[in-house]
Structure 1
Amino acid sequence: MTIQQKNTYDIMEVCVLAGKIMLQSGAETYRVEDTMMRIASAYGAKESHSYVTPTGIIFSIESDQPTKTKLFRITERTTDLQKVTYVNSISRRISKGELTLDEAYYALKEIEESKAGYPTVIQVLAAAAASGCFLIMFKGTWFDFPAALVAGGTGLLGFIYAQRLVPIKFFSEFVASLIIAIIAVLAVEFGWGVQVDKIIIGSVMPLVPGLVLTNAIRDLMAGHLVSGLSKGAEALLTAFAIGSGVAIVLTFM
């Protein structure tokens, strides 16, 4: 392998690693493609091409040697906008010439290996608070506020543990909505709540795929039809899973 070939492969490794982190963390498709091509250009690549879908990255660099292409499969996706921000920051530093290839690679590796998200306790408390606030926003009563807090927090906790047992996102969302609906119905039955519909609506809001749906529309508007349609389908499946869990409880209780 010549020095030029090694340099090209190193550039591709940095670009694909940056794209992988962003895509797994919930970034839009167009942003991932743009970041990868900007990094390649900053390191002197004459021309680069990227094709990104929610489940894979294809990246190539054209040079005097035969064109090199790298394919990476994405199997896990979550929402961690902090990592997206960190990668964008590194991309800007690369564009300014502040980082060498090795420095950029190790910086991106640190971001990839860093612990994602917040502790479970913080996530549950945030979901509980958000559920109560959504209840009030949807014109629920303050009497139902505690029930929404308990339902929303317990629902997210159920989602987290179901995801660990069975790593299928839609199944975890189904379990979470099932728990939320059961708590809401029991709260009204025992006199701890009044409006079961408002409690359920407020409590499932932390599960609603707002970011996925927004990214789907943004990708469609940018012309990324495959990514837009696949993310839209993911959002619809999530909505179906949430609705199914609630419907089963309301039907049999």
Structure 2
Amino acid sequence: MEPYESSRLAKIVMRSGKLLLQSGGDVVSAEETMKRICLSHPGASKPECVLTPTTILFSFKTEHHIITRACKITKVGNDLVRIAKIHDLVNNCENLSMKEMEEELDAIEREKTHPRWLRILASGICSAGFGLFFGDPLDVLFIFFIGLGAGWILTNKSNRILMIICASFFVTICPILLEHASIHLSIETVVVSNMPLMVPGMVIFNAIRDTLAGNYQAGLNRTAEACLIGAAIAAGTGLALGVMVL
């Protein structure tokens, strides 16, 4: 394999792993993805990965030398559509040239996520759905609008933990203020119906999967992140209750 081709393959492998982790994928899937793309080229062999949710270290062997690459992961989110498209690329990588893989990755990176207004609307609808599930149809309208407010807070491009604290404070204090304004509603149900918007479900799933796969470092990292999000939810709720007591 020529040096230009090996560098080109290394870039494709790193881009695929980075996109997968940035989209909320687990470490085990990212390792398998990178190794499979690397081995899809006949001139590459013995791929090795060292991955954490925030770091990628990858190397593989060519006929004349060893290629090593490293990068840091930032701006992590949850994008199941992007994860699915990367897996589709991996499933067909044996039939694609490096140019075609680069074009596929470019298309995945260019694709825009759902608009913010749609995500906010989905937050309100999800909250209202949980309100119906918990048997509180009379307060569904209030739950819906509070869910819209929580969605607006959570979709801000700011520190994730800070936004979760603000959102949990908002969904706790709003029903209490409405109750003080003589609008009778079930405070507990309204608060609980909006809390699933902040629960780190995908983080917990990845923590369990990485741990069961034997990648304890990544599992502990994800577990710590889930605990931190849980603490942020508790902090926002407790702050709202403390303000109302005062």
TM class, shorter-length: over 0.9
Following TM superposition, by how much is the alpha carbon of 1:150 offset from its aligned partner in structure 2, in angstroms? 1.1
How far, CA to CA, are the matches of 1:107 and 1:193 in structure 2? Answer: 54
Match of 1:143 in 2: 138
Q: In structure 2, what is the Cα distance between the partners aligned to 1:225 and 1:82?
A: 27
State the partner residue of 2:153. 158
Say if 1:11 and 1:40, in contact at 8 Å, map to a contact too: yes
Number of equivalent positions:
243
Q: Tell me the SS of whatever aligns to 1:48.
A: strand
Structure 2 residue 120 is matched with structure 1 residue 129: no
Give the aligned partner of residue 219 of structure 2: 228
Q: Which residue of 2 aligns with 1:246?
A: 237
Change (3 A) 1:223 1:183: same
Moved more, 76-85 or 188-197: 188-197
Alpha-carbon displacement from aligned partner over 1:192-230 (angstroms, at most 9, x marks no partner)? 442111111111211111111111011100111111111
Amino acid at match of 1:106: E
Provide structure 1 residue ranges, at least 5 long, that are not aligned to the other structure.
none
Measure, in 1, the Cα distance between the counterparts of 2:71 and 2:183.
Answer: 51
1:13 equivalent in alignment to 2:4: no
Contact 2:28 2:213 in 1 (8 A): yes
Moved over 3 A (4+): none
What displacement does 1:29 show?
A: 0.8
Structure 1: distance between partners of 2:224 and 2:189: 27
Q: Does 1:204 align with 2:195?
A: yes
- Paired position in structure 2 for 1:94: 93
2:32 to 31, 34, 37: 34
Residue 114 (structure 1) aligned with residue 111 (structure 2): yes
Q: Secondary structure at the match of 1:240?
A: helix
The residue aligned with 2:41 is 43
TM-score (norm 2): 0.94
Structure 2 counterpart of 1:228, one-letter code: G
Report what 2:169 is aligned to. Answer: 178
Query: Are the counterparts in 2 of residues 147 and 187 from structure 1 also a CA contact under 8 Å?
Result: no
Counterparts of 1:46-65 in structure 2, within 5 Å, are: 46-65=45-64
Per-residue deviation, 1:160: 2.1
CA–CA distance in 1 between the matches of 2:182 and 2:39?
64
1:217 to 196, 203, 208: 208
Report the Cα distance in structure 1 between the residues aligned to 2:140 and 2:54, rounded to whole angstroms: 39
CA deviation string 1:91-141 (max 9, x = no partner) = 11212x1x210121122022113212x1111111111111112123234x2
Instruction: Give RMSD over aligned pairs.
Output: 1.4
Counterparts of 1:143 and 1:243, CA distance in 2: 27
Deviates more, 1:62-71 or 1:170-179: 62-71
CA distance in 1, matches of 2:171, 2:146: 5
The residue type equivalent to 2:127 in the other structure is: S
